[in-house]
Amino acid sequence: MSQALLNIENVDKIYGTAASGIYAVKGLSMAVQRGEIVSLLGSSGCGKTSTLRMIAGFEDITNGQISIAGKAINNLAPVKRNVAMAFEGYSLYPPLTIGDNIAFALKATKLSAADVKTKVAEIAEMLEISDILDSYPSSVSGGQQQRASLGRALIRDADLHLLDEPMGQLEPQLRALLRGRIKHYIREKGLTAILVTHDQAEANALSDRIAVMEDGYLQQFESPLVLKNQPANLFTGTFIGEPPMNVFNASVTQDSDQVRFQLDENVSLNYNISEFTESVIQAAIKHESIVIGVRPYAVKRSNNGVNVTVLVNQWLGDQTHIAAELAGQSIVLVEHDRAFDKTGETISVQLTPDSLHLFDRHSGAAISHGTVMA
């Protein structure tokens, strides 16, 4: 593989002093190839924005090294890094019109006025803000300001485009429309983009790979498909996917030809040994105390499965979410048809062995993954 465009090696970010400071990012290492679209996904305070701002040069890198195109940028001023950025707070310059705000990103390129105008018009059309180019930031909505800020970043011809929550303020329909357009634009221009988001749908739709972060640590950096089907640990497993993965604490035993996952004194899930490979069974038994994960889409009704008690039945307009109780814990199943089970009713569901994800309860590390694609 050719040299990565962006290389982050063992980077820490500590706010305050090393002794008493707050760790925002811990031992982060990742590489982004030229032409890739990568998302940093995580909840608030997970270190994703700190990471982006270190790449841009607005935060010092406490430890480690970041390089762009093979050149270390730790001590390089933002202006010399050749990166473009869309800020979460829009950060448009109030005395300039929306059009001029977008155009001023091109000032340094020495393009002719006519070329600048063409490019601004092109990007404004893509972002549906052609009609407000002559307005001032204070007189347009937050969503329009956000698109202007996005335009100001995308219009540039930089090595790396950093987009911090680029569509957070947009209404859902517009967001869905722009996702497609922006992805197409980035591909067409051959840009490399890193976006920070807490919206999974956005990350899935836009990215080639997603870096899931939590508590300053990189949890997993993989394609959306791998994240969904082979989560490296319990955090990624439960964080990725909507509704979230069902999880149950279980202890594992094996007797003759059965593997038994004991959920509590009364409920156990029993499978024939032949359903699992020998190594998975050995690993699961070795861990003794494990967590079983099942995606809500993989939970199916059956006549001879385990009995669960319906708690809530929600019809979302295109699918049914049923929350039920199993061994004192909650299990959610998703069906594409409308279901009419009432609260308190008992239904029988099947957790097929090939839909189970097994995790070690202590470390959270994945032991095995079922082969059913989510």
The site for other proteins (CB under 8 A) is made up of 56-58, 77-79, 81, 83-85, 87-89, 91-95, 104-105, 107-109, 149, 152, 156
Give the span between the Cα atoms of 145 and 129, in whole angstroms.
Answer: 9
Neighbours of 365 (CB within 10 A): 12
Pinpoint the alpha helices (H) of 190-231.
200-206, 224-229
DSSP 68: E
- Rounded to a whole number of angstroms, the minimum distance from the CB of residue 194 to other proteins is 14
Q: Which CB, 9 or 159, lies closer to other proteins?
A: 159
The neighbouring-strand residues paired with 252 are 261
| Residue (60 or 288) nearer to other proteins, CB | 60
Q: How far is the CB of 20 from other proteins (least distance, A)?
A: 14
CB of 72 to other proteins, least distance (A): 18
Give the span between the Cα atoms of 65 and 72, in whole angstroms: 7
In the complex, minimum distance from the CB of residue 77 to other proteins, in angstroms, rounded to a whole number: 7
Question: 149 or 236: whose CB is closer to other proteins?
Answer: 149
Least distance from other proteins to the Cβ atom of residue 85, Å: 5
| Nearer to other proteins among residue 7 and residue 149 (C-beta) | 149
**How would DSSP label each residue in 310-338?**
EEEEEE-SS-EEEEEEETTEEEEEEESS-
Helix (H) or strand (E) holding 50: helix 48-56
State the Cα angle at 368 between 299 and 322, rounded to 5°.
Answer: 15
Cα–Cα distance, 199 to 184 (Å, whole number): 19
> Which one, 95 or 180, has the nearer CB to other proteins?
95
Structure tokens at 143: 């969503």
313-316 long-range contacts (CB < 8 A, ≥24 apart) are 313/339, 313/340, 313/341, 313/342, 313/343, 315/339
**Nearer residue to other proteins within complex by CB, 67 or 320:** 67
Q: In whole angstroms, how close is the CB of 106 to other proteins at the nearest point?
A: 8
